[in-house]
Structure 1
C-alpha cells in the first residue's frame, strides 16, 4: 500500500483525486472560523451570535450526511461528490455577500451540506481498496482531506490580508471566502470527468431498497430509530439556541413550529425505515447469520465519532478565538497557531488507520485511542494565560493526534460492517460527528473553554470503556477481498469492461 502511495495510477489515482475533493469541501466548510472576530467587528455581531454561527455551520450536515449517504448508495460516489463540490459555490458566495447576522445564519446552514461530502469518499475508497488495507486508505483519505481545515485557518486569513487593498485597506475576508467556493466548483467538473465508481470488472453494489437503512433484526430497527432521534434532538437543540432573546433570530412560536417540523421529519423517517424493513420486523423475513449485522456496532461507532470528530469540529471552530483572547494575540497569528490542531491530520488519521491495519485488532485500537482522546482534553482544560504558549500548543497537538487518529480507526471499521449500505452507515456515523460538534459547541456557547475541554475528555473516557466491553471485531477485518466480491471480479459483465463509468 505505502509503496504505491505516491503514484498517480489505478486505485491510488482515485484515492488522490478523492482526498483532494474532500480537502476542498473542508476548506469551504471551515472558511468562517478564521475570520470570526473580523466578521464580528465588520457586521457588529454580539459574541453569542458568533458562537451560534459556529453551531449553524454544523447543523444541516447532520441530516445532509444521512441523505447524501442514501444518494451515494443509489447513484454512486462520482455523481454525488461532483454535485456537492459544484454546490459549494452557493453558500460561499452567500457568506461573502452577507450583511447581517440573519444572512450569515442562512449561508452557514447551507454550508453544512458541503460538510457532508466526507461520507462520499469513504464509499469510493472502500470500492478500490481491500479490507486488509482499508484502515490506511481511509486514514489517508480522511487525514489529507481534513487538512482542508488547516488550509482554511492558515491560508485564507493570509489571502484576506494580501488582498486588503481591494477592500480599501480592510481585511478582505469576503474575497477569500468566495474564492474557496469558486475553486471547489471548478474541481467538481474535474472530478466528474476523471474518476470511476469501481475498478474495471467490479459491480457497484446497491441496497435492494431505498428510502431507509436496511437492518437485519427487529432489535436493530428500534436501535436505529433511537439513533435517528438523537440526530433530530441535536437540531432541536440548535432551534432552542437560536430562540434565545440575545440572538433575535427565532421567537418562541417559531421555535415550537421548528420542533413540530422536526417531529414530523422523525415520523416520516421512521415510516420510510419501516417500509424498507417491515418484513424483518414482523418476522416474515429472516436473514442468515452470514448476512446479519448488529446495529449496536453502528451505534458504538457513532459514539466514537462523537468524541473524535465531534470534538475536533468543536476545537477547530473555537481555538482561533480561544488563543486570541487567552494569549492576547492578533487574529492572524491566533488562527495560524490554532491551525496546529487540523495540521496534524496529515499524519494522525493515516496513522490511526495504519495502526488499525497492523495491530491485528481494530476493536482494541479504537479502545486505546479513545482513552488517549480523553486524557488529552483533560490536560487541555487547564490551559490559561499563565501557561507558556509553546506548552499550550503542545497539549493542543497531543489532543489533536488522538482525536484524529480515532477518526481514522473509526472509519477503518465502518466499511466492514455491511458493504452495500456503506454509504448509509458512513452517513449515520458521520452525522453523529456533527451531532457531537453541535452538542459540544452548544456547551461552549453557554459556558467556557475549560468546561468544554473537560466535557469532551470525560465523554471520550466513557466511550473507550464501552468499546472495550461491547465493540466487536468486524468479520473479515484483514481479508484480501470484501465478502462476496471475488466472484463479481472473476466474471465481469461486458458493459462494465467496455465503460467503467457506467457504474
Structure 2
C-alpha cells in the first residue's frame, strides 16, 4: 500500500466484496467439475477428452491472468474486476446452448474468463493493506477458492432437478449480479486514487514486465503450479475419481469433492496469518513436507500380494480404504491451502510495485497447472491404467519443488552469511579446509605449529 490514509470501512468493503466476488467467479470457473461428468456420459467421452474439457476453462483463466493483473495495476482493479465478471457471465450463459464436444470446448474457453479474476483481486486487495497485514488479507481473499465447493454442493442438485442448462444460466446470473454489487460497494484502490490526484500516468506494459526476468519469479511460479494448479486439478478430478473407483453417484461424489475443496480453500486464511507471523518461507517448508507425505501415501495403488511361505502361498491385499483416502485428500488440501497463501505473501514483499505483473505470471503458471494436470491425469489413466497415477505425478512435482526451494534457500543463506560455507560438522573437514596447517588455532585461542 503506497497511497495515503484510507478508512477502515473502505478497506473492509474492498476485502470482503472482493472475496465474495472471487468466490462466485471460482464457482463458475470450476463448473465443469460437475457438468463435465454428465457431458462425459452423454457424449461417451474418453478420460483424456474429459480431462481436456474440464481443463479448458482453466487454460483461459490462466493465460489472461498476466494481462489482467497488469491492467489492474494500470487502470484499477475495481473497474477490471467488474468487467471480467460481466464477460464471464455472458460466456457462461452461452454455455447452455452447447450441443456437441466442439461447442462445449468453445463454451469452456469463454467460461474460463472467470478464472482471470484472481490476479485482478490480488492486485486490488494488496494495495489496501500494509506489508505486515498483506498475508492475512490475501489469505482471506484467496479463500474464495471455496467457490469450487459451492459448485460441488449446489450444481448436482440443480442439475438433477432442472437440467445442466439451468446450472449454466443460474451461475451466469449470479456473476452478473455480483459484478454490479461489487462495483457499487467498493472504491478505487489508494494507489490509483493517489496517481489520479497527482496526474501521474500508469507505467508502460514493458516496465510492468521487467521483474519477470528474475529466476525467483519462476521459482514462485513452480510452487504455485503445485499448490494451486494441483488443487484445481484435484477439485476437478476427484468427483470422477470417486465415481470410477468407489462407484458413487454424481451427487455423493460432488459432496465428497467439496469436502476436499473446503479445507483447501478456507485454511488459506490460516496460511496467510501464519505467513505474517512465522514467515512465508517456513510455511512453504510445512506445505511441501506435508504434501510429499500425503501424495506418497495416496500414490500407492491397490495391490494383491502372493508370498511364498513355508506352508504354501500367503496372499493378502494392500489397499487404501475409502475413509483413509478421503482424510488424506483433505489433509493434502489443507497443506496446499497454506502454500497458496505463503506464495502470494512473498510477492508484495519482494515486488511491491509489480504485484499485478508478478502475481499475474505466478497465477498464470499455477492456473496452467489446473489445465495441464487434469489432462495428464486422464492420459495416465488411459495409458498406465492405474487410478492412483494422478497422485504419483503430484508426488514428483512436490518433491522437485521441495528440493529446488531448499537448494535456493541454502544458496541465498550462504550468500548473505559467508561463514555458512565452511564445514560445520566434522573438525577433520575444517582442518582439510585450512590452507595453512602449520598455524592451526589451539583450543584456547593460541596459534601453535602443527606437529
1:366-401 per-residue CA deviation (whole Å, 9 max, x = no partner) reads 233122222222222236595432211101101111
Paired residue secondary structure (1:186):
helix
- Aligned partners of 1:105 and 1:300: how far apart in 2? 31
User: Is 1:319 the counterpart of 2:238 in the alignment?
Assistant: yes
Out of 172, 176, 179, the residue aligned to residue 181 of structure 1 is 172
The runs of 5 or more residues in structure 1 that have no matched partner are 1-7, 164-171, 225-294, 474-503
Out of 299, 309, 314, the residue aligned to residue 228 of structure 2 is 309
- Aligned partners of 1:457 and 1:358: how far apart in 2? 28
CA contact (8 A) 2:264 2:336 kept: no
What corresponds to 1:135 in structure 2?
135
Out of 197, 205, 208, the residue aligned to residue 210 of structure 1 is 205
- Aligned partners of 2:67 and 2:331: how far apart in 1? 34
What corresponds to 2:408 in structure 1?
470
CA contact (8 A) 1:43 1:99 kept: no
Out of 331, 343, 368, the residue aligned to residue 262 of structure 2 is 343
Out of 269, 276, 281, the residue aligned to residue 357 of structure 1 is 276
Question: Cα 1:157–1:121, aligned 2, differ >3 Å: closer, same or farther?
Answer: same
CA contact (8 A) 1:138 1:412 kept: yes
Of residues 9-18 and 422-431 in structure 1, the stretch that sits farther from structure 2 once superposed is 9-18
Question: Cα 1:99–1:298, aligned 2, differ >3 Å: closer, same or farther?
Answer: same
Paired residue secondary structure (2:294):
helix
TM-score, normalised by the number of residues in structure 2: 0.79
Out of 289, 298, 318, the residue aligned to residue 371 of structure 1 is 289
- Aligned partners of 1:325 and 1:45: how far apart in 2? 14
Matches within 5 A, 1:116-155: 116-143=116-143, 145-155=144-154
CA contact (8 A) 1:302 1:429 kept: yes
- Aligned partners of 1:24 and 1:336: how far apart in 2? 18
Question: Cα 1:208–1:194, aligned 2, differ >3 Å: closer, same or farther?
Answer: same
- Aligned partners of 2:60 and 2:272: how far apart in 1? 28
- Aligned partners of 1:416 and 1:200: how far apart in 2? 16
The runs of 5 or more residues in structure 2 that have no matched partner are 1-7, 303-317, 382-386, 414-451
- The Cα shift of 1:402 comes to 0.7
User: Is 1:440 the counterpart of 2:355 in the alignment?
Assistant: no
Question: Cα 1:348–1:373, aligned 2, differ >3 Å: closer, same or farther?
Answer: same
User: Is 1:424 the counterpart of 2:357 in the alignment?
Assistant: yes
CA contact (8 A) 2:275 2:345 kept: yes
User: Is 1:72 the counterpart of 2:10 in the alignment?
Assistant: no
CA contact (8 A) 1:352 1:409 kept: yes
What corresponds to 2:34 in structure 1?
34
Matches within 5 A, 1:73-472: 73-143=73-143, 145-163=144-162, 172-199=163-190, 203=194, 208-211=203-206, 213-215=208-210, 224=213, 295-359=214-278, 361-382=279-300, 386-448=319-381, 449-471=387-409
TM-score, normalised by the number of residues in structure 1: 0.71
**Stretches of 4+ aligned residues off by more than 6 angstroms:** none
**TM-align CA RMSD:** 2.3
- The Cα shift of 1:42 comes to 3.0
